[in-house]
Amino acid sequence: MRTLNNTRRRFIAHFAGLGLGSTLLPGVLWGQMNQAGQNRITAEMLKSALALSGLEFDEDARAAMVREANRSLDRYEKLRALHIPDDISPPFHFTPVVPGMVVDRTLRPFRISTVRSVNRPANLEDAAHWSVRRLAELIRSRQVTALELTRMYLGRLHRHNAQLNCVVTFLDDLGLAQAAEADREIAAGKYRGPLHGIPWGAKDIIAVKGYATTWGSGAYKDRIIETDATVVEMLREAGAVLVAKLTTGEFAHGDRHHLGQTRNPWNPSHGSSGSSAGPAAATAAGCVAFGIGTETAGSLLSPSWVCGVTTLRPTFGRVSRHGIMVLSWTQDRVGPMCRYAEDCALVMQAMARPDGRDLSVTDIPFNWDARLDVRGLRVGFLADGFENATGHIKENGRKTLDHVRALGVKLTPVDVPRFPYYTAALSVEKAVFHSEFFLSSRHQQMARPDLAAGFRAPRLISAVDYLVSQRARTMMMMKLSDATVDVDVWLSIGTHSKAGVIEESDGPTQWHSEMANLAGYPALAVPNGLNEAGTPTSITIYGRPFADGKVLALGKACQDAAGFHRQHPKLPA
């Protein structure tokens, strides 16, 4: 569709919002108004336009539509003159819980694993790929200071960024100051827990007060948001040390941004996929102990599969999105990108609680017990996905299922029925949040101006169609709940999401992945081997809403049995 000028685009949006049929109707009306040199609709204009659009109403109905349409033009012009701050969300909130679904609301003790015989390596960089749990033991036992660990990771970030292009802003001064404060507190006996003194990096759609938050775009390369995102505040309270703002695809799309493309540490000639590209690459390369990314339609899981990172996409409503760029209020999630499943639990413990700002966040407790006996879990697997895979992906998937069976777990095949439909949630909601930007000419400053159409075209979706699609989404969620009611967690071959387009998915694994995402289910990416090209393969462990702890428990058991998470890419010294 060719580019429309601002007035015509606004006009079409007015009538799409009224739900007056196809995009042809507002287009015809616009043409008639333009030809007549008028800025209001007449009865004759509407009658002709309705005929061309294949719609028929009696004279009284048409008169009422003309009155309401002209009244709406005035209202919408006033509405568009209103500036709405980024932290204002619509007055409704999505929940992954459907009627009849039972959620565990019992708070239980938070139990982490016991780590024995952790000794400081002669060369501290030999610990760069250690799990957060083991690094925490080095700090707790005072074999390593937070300053030493922070300097080590900052050194690796500076050294490897030229190849990986994973950093937007180095936060050396901030990180070193936070590390020094952590050391003072630990020396005074005020140890805050397993994240105290641990260096981490934030995806650059997450606001950090006093530093640029670019959203991956040249249009915002110098923009500073004078607030901290909630997750930044919560991780600081836990004693974690922020060392970098890490790359994101422009406006959280893909791995390309105003600084170029973020690279995969396993094969730097390839990109690192999904918009949480920077946290995935930096974590896989041992340049941070963990990263924080976000997902709307695959941006946590996809780069984790590609880069061999262990990542939890939490249940929707676990973690506040306050201070983070929006793509979809009903889909966006924030999650930890780590090297070990238990590390994700340690980070979630710091972040998974209401903040009074993002009202989608629930007070359902996040429970973790490193000693949970996975034999007590009801575990399923998507048999078609494992069977239809090929090459090393299939072989590594088979080995993972064998590891799970060897744990004493009985595997139950899960069959998820296809429910083909398109949800307008992502399309409409991203257009709403970024409305002011894409009604201006600032998109010309973007590294990828081709993205603009995807933020503008949703204005042609009527409010009626948007809400109908959300009702269909509820139907899909109920079908998914029925299909998985007999299991707590289930395994799938890792596959890419189709970003809301289930009817175009190629097979059961892909349409299940999209359904689970739209339903707000938790999912854990677990690397399980290498493919023919020497880059990682993964499985994904899904769970029913708020079963995040069970998902992580099975992931930890798989990793403890297989040990692949201890392998890492070889980067130049």
Integer Cα distance of 321 and 325 in angstroms: 8
Across-strand partners of 313?
Answer: 523
Integer Cα distance of 360 and 354 in angstroms: 9
Structure tokens at 443: 């998109």
Instruction: Identify the active-site residue in 203, 245, 498, 550.
Output: 203
Q: What DSSP character marks residue 422? A: B
Q: Per-residue DSSP letters for 509-525?
A: HHHHHHHHHHTT--EEE
Contact (Cβ atoms closer than 8 angstroms) between residue 535 and residue 270: yes
Active site annotation includes 203: yes
Structure tokens at 88: 């204002």
Give the three-class secondary structure for 294: strand
Q: What DSSP character marks residue 4? A: P
Active site annotation includes 269: no
**For helices 59-80 and 43-53, angle between their N-to-C axes, nearest 10 degrees:** 100
What is the number of other CB atoms lying within 10 angstroms of the CB of residue 290? 29
Instruction: Identify the active-site residue in 217, 273, 299, 360.
Output: 299
Instruction: Identify the active-site residue in 53, 131, 273, 275.
Output: 275
**DSSP-based helix, strand, coil % in the chain, nearest 5:** 45, 15, 40
Structure tokens at 500: 């809301």
Active site annotation includes 435: no
In angstroms, the Cα distances linking 470 to 95, 268, 512 are 12, 40, 18
Closest CA to 520 of 473, 485, 482, 553: 473
Integer Cα distance of 484 and 481 in angstroms: 5
Closest CA to 251 of 223, 225, 214: 214
Integer Cα distance of 26 and 298 in angstroms: 34
Integer Cα distance of 40 and 351 in angstroms: 52
The residues carrying an active-site annotation are 203, 275, 299
